[in-house]
Amino acid sequence: MKVILDVDTGTDDALAIALATLSPEIELIGLTTVSGNVHVDKTSVNTVRVLEFLGVDDVPVFRGAAKPLVKELRTVEWVHGSDGLGDSGIPMPRRKPEDKPAAEFIVEELRKSSPGEITLIATGPLTNLAIALLLEPRIVEKIQKIIVMGGAFGVTPHGTGNITPVSEFNIYTDPEAAKIVFESGAKVSCVGLDVTMNPSAVLRAEHIDRLRGSGSKAAELAVRVTRGMMERVGFFALHDPMAVALAVKPELFKTEEYYVQVSLEEGDLRGQTIADRRWFVRELGEKLGIKPRGAKVSIASWVDGPRFLRFFLDRITGHEGKE
């Protein structure tokens, strides 16, 4: 499948990029960068840094939005390090991003594509995708689907917030953009904290040991960019790689459709993804004359954590199928 990967590279975005480049199911036609974890100046440099570290020099990178659509940008260097890559010393890049802005690239690629040819995978705030959809709403007819790492839907016990008690960072950073994407009419699938924070699906010390001994550049990248978080909390959540996994290994997941609203309130409720989980509305809504609230999206409601980790580690170490 042809993929445009939209990232706010960040430590887990780096692992999503690595997984995408190592997945034969994916033809990566471009990477677009956005402000989120750190400013887009850094996420753009980091995205090229990661590609060059992995020896990938034929995938173009397009710089995108420097701030969310409405509110101010609030970065999280305390999570991803001052450089956004865990201050892990990954060499600075030789090449630069392309001159064309990210949203323009997205619109142009979709315009010239056949219907259903391109899948968009977004692992940062949805600002670039929203701008592209505002620039040219008709691209919806061309998009195969949009896979979003984002949201906390309460469909599992892990589906609480991270940046606030109820809101997940990517949606919290630009909820107006998320609302535009969710309501665009495109098929949207969300990988939220409900599954990415499942304790059976996070990297732990024993996984790092396997990576350390593997000799692959992607494994070395993973060991380096996860080191800070591993030392601080003893685990590393694979939020963004899990969005790539949903694209290439959907059998690792269960997904369910819900109507979802995005809160545009101020404060802790901002960016809350409210799934309409009222069973009586789902089953009796027609009879009761009650319509579910929000836009219909597909939500990952379960992940086979051990199989996901095996899949991730096999691909990153290059040992897939070499049991």
Q: Is 149 among the residues that bind ligand RIB (CB under 6 A)?
A: yes
Q: Is 271 among the residues that bind ligand RIB (CB under 6 A)?
A: no
User: Given the complex with ligand RIB, which of 41 and 141 has the nearer CB atom?
Assistant: 41
- Is residue 36 within 8 A of residue 64, CB to CB? The reply is no
User: Given the complex with ligand RIB, which of 42 and 239 has the nearer CB atom?
Assistant: 239
Taking residues 234 to 253 in sequence order and writing x for each that binds Ca ion by CB under 5 A, - otherwise, the string is: ------x-------------
Choose, from 80, 158, 207, 239, the residue flagged as catalytic.
Answer: 239
Q: Is 124 among the residues that bind Ca ion (CB under 5 A)?
A: yes
Rounded Cα gap, residues 158 and 192, in angstroms? 9
Two tokens, residue 180: 């535009």
Best CA proximity match to 84, nearest among 13, 162, 144, 22: 13
Please, what is the end-to-end C-alpha distance for the chain in angstroms?
26
Is 80 a catalytic site residue?
A: no
Query: In the window 6-25, what residues touch ligand RIB (CB under 6 A)?
Result: 8, 10, 12-13
Q: Is 124 among the residues that bind ligand RIB (CB under 6 A)?
A: yes
Best CA proximity match to 307, nearest among 227, 261, 245: 245
Question: Between β-strands 253-262 and 295-303, what pairing exists: parallel, antiparallel or unpaired?
Answer: antiparallel
Rounded Cα gap, residues 307 and 92, in angstroms? 34
Query: In the window 52-111, what residues touch Ca ion (CB under 5 A)?
Result: none
- Is residue 168 within 8 A of residue 161, CB to CB? The reply is yes
Instruction: By CB under 6 A, name the one of 21, 44, 123, 127 that touches ligand RIB.
Output: 123
E strand or H helix at 305: helix 305-317
Instruction: By CB under 6 A, name the one of 239, 274, 303, 304 that touches ligand RIB.
Output: 239
Is 87 a catalytic site residue?
A: no
Rounded Cα gap, residues 75 and 145, in angstroms? 28
Instruction: By CB under 5 A, name the one of 3, 6, 8, 53 that touches Ca ion.
Output: 8
Two tokens, residue 248: 């290439």
Closest contact distance (angstroms) between CB of 60 and ligand RIB is: 21
Query: In the window 154-193, what residues touch ligand RIB (CB under 6 A)?
Result: 162, 168-170
Window contacting Ca ion (CB under 5 A); options: 102-110, 197-205, 232-240, 282-290: 232-240
Q: Which of the residues are catalytic?
A: 8, 239
